């Protein structure tokens, strides 16, 4: 199958079996089926996510295989590819999820930019991030002294 046909197949499968979760600032795409090979093929088609086994909750249920992607950038990439092929019902939810994912990506870019305390906490030890962390610690100690006095 060519890339266009593969994405059309993946979009059709997702339209029927997938789910778009949007909760506050979080967004997640899932696809759950009993056929592991189909779920893995879907994962390959979209180029991201993970596939996990869900054990049956009742004896007479089958094992299920769940594809999931929750990283905002990856969700945005998958939905961007699928959007032109989605039906109107899913398209509305996909557009909502894309807005949330775009906001999350923008927020991360600001929060974790160099020269911020957040980036220092993430492990960056460049001069700008160290200076930002030092400033924040000094401001915190100053506030504590004022509160204690």
The model's pLDDT over 119-139, given as tens digits with 9 standing for 90+, comes to 788 788 888 888 988 999 999
Choices 3.40.50.300, 3.40.440.10, 1.10.10.410, 3.10.28.10: CATH for 3-111: 3.10.28.10
How far is 7 from 74, CA to CA, in rounded Å?
Answer: 15
How many CB atoms sit inside 10 A of residue 3's CB? 9
Domain map of the chain by residue range? 3-111, 117-148
Q: Are 56 and 62 in contact (CB under 8 A)?
A: yes
- Whether 25 shows a pLDDT value over 90: the answer reads no
- The model's pTM is 0.71
Model confidence at 11: pLDDT above 80: yes
Closest CA to 69 of 44, 99, 37, 96: 44
**pLDDT band of 2, cuts 50, 70, 90:** low
Residue 94 to residue 22: CA distance in whole angstroms: 9
Confidence of residue 38 (pLDDT cuts 50, 70, 90): very high
């Amino acid at each position: 199958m060519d890339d266009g046909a593969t994405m059309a197949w993946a979009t059709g499968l997702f339209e029927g079996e997938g789910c778009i979760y949007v909760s506050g600032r979080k967004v997640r795409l899932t696809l759950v089926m009993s056929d592991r090979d189909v779920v893995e093929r879907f994962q390959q088609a979209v180029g991201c996510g993970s596939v996990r086994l869900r054990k049956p909750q009742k004896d007479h249920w089958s094992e299920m295989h769940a594809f999931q992607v929750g990283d905002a950038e990856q969700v945005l990439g998958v939905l961007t590819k699928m959007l032109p092929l989605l039906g109107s019902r899913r398209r509305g939810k996909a557009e909502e999820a894309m807005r949330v994912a775009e906001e999350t990506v923008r927020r991360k870019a600001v929060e974790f930019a160099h020269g911020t305390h957040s980036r220092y906490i993430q492990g960056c030890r460049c001069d700008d991030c160290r200076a930002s962390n030092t400033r924040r610690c000094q401001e915190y100690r100053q506030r504590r002294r004022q509160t204690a006095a």
